[in-house]
């Protein structure tokens, strides 16, 4: 009885070993000592998805494959994320001499990390594989993609198009490969075990297994973004941004707002602004009905995950006027636990909390993040920079966005400084090794060439003087 699982595991290991061998051969043939050729390869990958007909076809295929999100949003995701990431990558040096600091006697050399295993989610079966592949190849590395089984057809087509573009400009096609169908946990685990770097987006189970694989791993945390609307906020601007972000791709993004905390003195006015932006304010009976149907057996109801608003309202038994709304407000008096409205919902429900003052608003945000999403992100709509700074100082997340739509800002924006990415680390708060947006720096090793400089040795008095004066020697 015990021999069969071992046989399956060996088979998975053998399949992955062959892919890794091909990846290493491709890496040996890759002109990854030449920044111009590397940049050309990265541009080829970007064009394979950014090309308008490809962006649309893969968006349509993704929705057909997974049943998640909507085509128009996925087209935007395929193009905007790819364009922004290409912008970032074209500005960076990653191979050969990447920095010189003569005053410090230092020269830095960028070098590959090796074969990258990229585990990708069903929510972005085209955009995430291209995003990770661009970063991997920018560092001089090959990549093997482990797609979600639900999005396999889309990811396989995406990989085929990346390979075709690489071939067109004379780069080894095996710089980008994909696990063969049917993808299984055994195959994905074997990949994480055998590569030099595993980069995991999506399932927190996959993230944990990558961390336990013995391979150097980068995983990202779960999102569950809460945002504050304070007394100084431009309410209509905040509502429009929250709406645009919440409904984008039917709330599939880990950066989608899941809760809004509104200060008491602007509460009703903010609710009215959200209604003008397209929200439906659920009544007490509707909230009770949604609560019963949103989680089934401890799992989110698959019939509303990333579904259109009309579909969601119908499944939940909401009224005809509600079915015409863009998203739904569920007001709560207190923060619940797992499988409550405080949890990540991956659907068009936005939980609303009322705070008596700003201190209570910050407390509610922290309580929400303790349920799910600690380390990931939070935000505030305000004209008071002190409020933004206080939220950042007191909240254990990697990102605090101010007056921004989270879905369009968390993963990089053209009007903020964050690197474009589809994978966002949550630091040790989320059990992650990075407290940053995944970017090219995570795909290179650096050799430091160190030469001598004039001695930089301060006196004992300079270092210990203040301490001696206060406490004695």
Q: Is residue 454 part of a domain?
A: no
Residues 150 and 242 in one domain: no
**Contact status, residue 144 vs residue 177, Cβ threshold 8 Å:** yes
CATH number assigned to the domain comprising residue 396: 3.40.309.10
What's residue 202's pLDDT?
A: 84
Q: Is residue 422 part of a domain?
A: no
Domain count along the chain: 2
Give the C-alpha separation, 413 to 404, whole Å.
10
- pLDDT tens track, the chain, 473 positions: 444 455 555 699 999 999 999 999 999 999 999 999 999 999 999 999 999 999 999 999 999 999 999 999 999 999 999 999 999 999 999 999 999 999 999 999 999 999 999 999 999 999 999 999 999 999 999 999 999 999 999 999 999 999 999 999 999 999 999 999 999 999 999 999 999 999 999 888 889 899 899 999 999 989 999 999 999 999 999 999 999 999 999 999 999 999 999 999 999 999 999 999 999 999 999 999 999 999 998 899 999 999 999 999 999 999 999 999 999 999 999 999 999 999 999 999 999 999 999 999 999 999 999 999 999 999 999 999 999 999 999 999 999 999 999 999 999 999 999 999 999 999 999 999 999 999 999 999 999 999 999 999 999 999 999 999 999 99
Beta bridge partners of 349: 328
What's residue 77's pLDDT?
A: 96
Beta bridge partners of 362: none
Buried/exposed code over 181-190 (b: 16+ C-beta within 10 A; e: otherwise): eebeebbbbb
Q: Is residue 165 part of a domain?
A: yes
Q: Residue 185: which domain range?
A: 3-220+438-449
Q: How many residues are present in the chain?
A: 473
Give the C-alpha separation, 63 to 66, whole Å.
5
Q: Is residue 471 part of a domain?
A: no
Residues 233 and 85 in one domain: no
Give the C-alpha separation, 248 to 385, whole Å.
28
Helix 127-138 vs helix 35-50: angle between axes, to the nearest 10 degrees?
170
Cβ neighbourhood burial of 15 (10 Å; 0-12, 13-18, 19+): middle
> Which ranges of 151-184 does DSSP label H, i.e. alpha helix?
152-168
Residues 179 and 39 in one domain: yes
Give the C-alpha separation, 345 to 236, whole Å.
24
Residues 102 and 174 in one domain: yes
**How many CA atoms does the CB half-sphere of 266 hold within 13 Å?**
23
Residues 204 and 297 in one domain: no
**Contact status, residue 120 vs residue 133, Cβ threshold 8 Å:** no
Give the C-alpha separation, 347 to 315, whole Å.
12
CB atoms within 10 A of CB 63: 21
CB atoms within 10 A of CB 111: 18
Torsion angle of C-alpha atoms 281, 286, 289, 293, degrees rounded to 10: -30
Give the C-alpha separation, 61 to 67, whole Å.
10
Residues 335 and 241 in one domain: yes
Please identify which residue in the block is written with the tokens 């609303």: 352
Residues 258 and 359 in one domain: yes
The helix or strand, by DSSP H or E, that contains position 299, with its residue range, turns out to be: strand 299-300
**Contact status, residue 328 vs residue 290, Cβ threshold 8 Å:** yes
CATH number assigned to the domain comprising residue 199: 3.40.605.10
Residues 163 and 230 in one domain: no
Residues 161 and 293 in one domain: no
Q: Is residue 50 part of a domain?
A: yes
Q: Is residue 290 part of a domain?
A: yes
Residues 230 and 364 in one domain: yes
Q: Is residue 458 part of a domain?
A: no
Residues 274 and 409 in one domain: yes
Q: Is residue 470 part of a domain?
A: no
Select from 251, 148, 136 the least CA-distant residue to 203. Answer: 148
Sign of the CA dihedral with 458 first, then 460, 461, and 466 last: positive
Torsion angle of C-alpha atoms 70, 282, 362, 225, degrees rounded to 10: -10
Strand 444-450 to 106-112 pairing: antiparallel
Residues 210 and 278 in one domain: no
Give the C-alpha separation, 136 to 95, whole Å.
12
Q: Give catalytic residues, as residue numbers.
A: 254
């Amino acid at each position: 009885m015990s021999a069969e699982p071992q046989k399956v595991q060996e088979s998975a290991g053998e399949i992955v070993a062959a892919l890794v061998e091909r990846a290493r051969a491709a890496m040996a043939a890759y002109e990854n000592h030449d920044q111009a050729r590397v940049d050309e390869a990265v541009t080829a990958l970007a064009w394979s998805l950014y090309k308008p007909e490809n962006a649309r076809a893969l968006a349509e295929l993704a929705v057909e494959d997974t049943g998640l999100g909507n085509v128009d949003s996925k087209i935007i995701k395929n193009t905007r994320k790819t364009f922004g990431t290409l912008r970032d990558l074209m500005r960076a040096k990653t191979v050969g001499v990447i920095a010189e600091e003569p005053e410090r006697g230092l020269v830095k050399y960028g070098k590959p990390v090796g074969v990258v295993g990229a585990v990708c989610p069903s929510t972005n079966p085209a955009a995430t594989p291209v995003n990770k592949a661009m970063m991997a190849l920018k560092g001089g590395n090959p990549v093997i993609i482990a797609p979600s089984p639900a999005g396999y057809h889309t990811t396989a087509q995406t990989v085929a198009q990346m390979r075709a573009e690489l071939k067109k400009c004379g780069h080894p096609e095996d710089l980008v490969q994909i696990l063969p169908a049917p993808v299984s946990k055994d195959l994905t685990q074997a990949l994480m075990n055998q590569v030099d770097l595993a980069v995991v987006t999506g399932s927190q189970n996959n993230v944990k297994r990558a961390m336990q694989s013995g391979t150097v791993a980068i995983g990202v945390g779960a999102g569950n973004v809460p945002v504050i609307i304070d007394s100084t906020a431009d309410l209509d601007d905040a509502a429009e941004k929250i709406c645009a972000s919440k409904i984008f791709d039917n709330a599939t993004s880990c950066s989608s707002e899941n809760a809004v905390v509104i200060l008491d003195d602007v509460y009703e006015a903010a609710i009215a602004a959200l209604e003008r932006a397209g929200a439906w304010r659920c009544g007490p009976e509707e909230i009770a009905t949604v609560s019963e149907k949103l989680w089934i057996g401890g799992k989110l109801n698959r019939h509303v995950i990333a579904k259109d608003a009309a579909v969601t309202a119908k499944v939940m038994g909401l009224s005809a006027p509600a079915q015409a709304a863009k998203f739904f407000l569920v007001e709560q008096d207190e923060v619940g636990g797992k499988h409550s409205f405080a949890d990540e919902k991956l659907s068009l429900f936005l939980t609303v909390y009322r705070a008596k003052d700003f201190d209570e608003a910050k407390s509610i945000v922290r309580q929400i993040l303790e349920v799910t999403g600690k380390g990931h992100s939070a935000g505030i709509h305000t004209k008071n920079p002190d409020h933004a700074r206080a939220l950042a100082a007191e909240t254990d997340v990697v990102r605090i966005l101010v007056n921004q739509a989270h879905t369009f800002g968390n993963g990089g924006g053209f009007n903020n400084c964050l690197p474009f990415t589809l994978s966002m680390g949550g630091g040790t708060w989320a059990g992650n090794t990075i407290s940053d947006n995944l970017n090219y720096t995570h795909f290179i090793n650096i050799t430091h060439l160190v030469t001598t400089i004039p001695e930089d040795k301060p006196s004992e008095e300079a270092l210990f003087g203040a301490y001696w004066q206060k406490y004695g020697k």
